[in-house]
Structure 1
């Protein structure tokens, strides 16, 4: 039994490393494309814009959770996006300390330009993989993540 459990642990480790490598390569390729468009935009800024394009109006803590970054880093990034006019903070009506983050028109325009580049790269990454295989892998990774809770 120990050998089997050890093998599972090694495979899980290898899977984690492979996912990290894939994210790193995607990040590099997306950043290269972003630099051609606007050298002052970073992958992290685009990542937040992408989260907001799917969840407009969430708060900073929710953004932090979705991109797996600490809240202070996200605060810095959002301040940067506010200065650029890409997002705005709006106070909750019942709690002025908590703010919702919304894309501005300018932020939405950037998402519309950059999002297809990211989709193109993910399509390339998934080129020879079936939808069922991707769904199974997604389920597996989410299950492994839940096991760590």
Structure 2
């Protein structure tokens, strides 16, 4: 790989880290302004449940790319905030089913507009073609890293 291409790859990854941090910061600011005591990582769990309603813990871990210990910690915190509940799977007692509480469903209505606002800001950042190219680039990077991993 040529030095300039490697330099661009390094700059690209640094910028990607800044974007990730900015996305988290955007949501943290909304949480702070509205006295909502959750983290961005907890939001990832909640958003998955807002789409699926009731799923086992492993499915959530796979979807949001968290290891089991990290997810257990997040779910414990969400249970403590009365946003989700954990029940045993009737098919397999070792499996835990995670379900939104009424408070967790209520929070979705409040947070969803902020998520949409964040997506709209991202969408304004480039043309459709630029976003499609960027998406393909992320897919290629992921595939290359998966092959080596």
TM-score by length of 1: 0.83
In structure 1, the residue matched to 2:61 is 64
One of 11, 14, 17 as aligned partner of 1:17: 14
| RMSD (CA atoms) | 2.0
**For 1:13 and 1:40, how far apart are their aligned partners in 2?**
35
Count of residues in Structure 1 that have an aligned counterpart in Structure 2: 146
Unaligned runs of 5+ in 1: none
Moved more, 137-146 or 23-32: 137-146
- State the Cα distance separating 1:114 from its structure 2 match: 0.9
In structure 2, the residue matched to 1:73 is 70
One of 92, 113, 122 as aligned partner of 1:95: 92
Instruction: State yes or no: 1:112 paired with 2:104.
Output: no
Unaligned runs of 5+ in 2: none
- State the Cα distance separating 1:128 from its structure 2 match: 4.1
TM-score by length of 2: 0.83
**For 1:132 and 1:101, how far apart are their aligned partners in 2?**
38
Instruction: State yes or no: 1:141 paired with 2:138.
Output: yes
SS at match of 1:97: coil
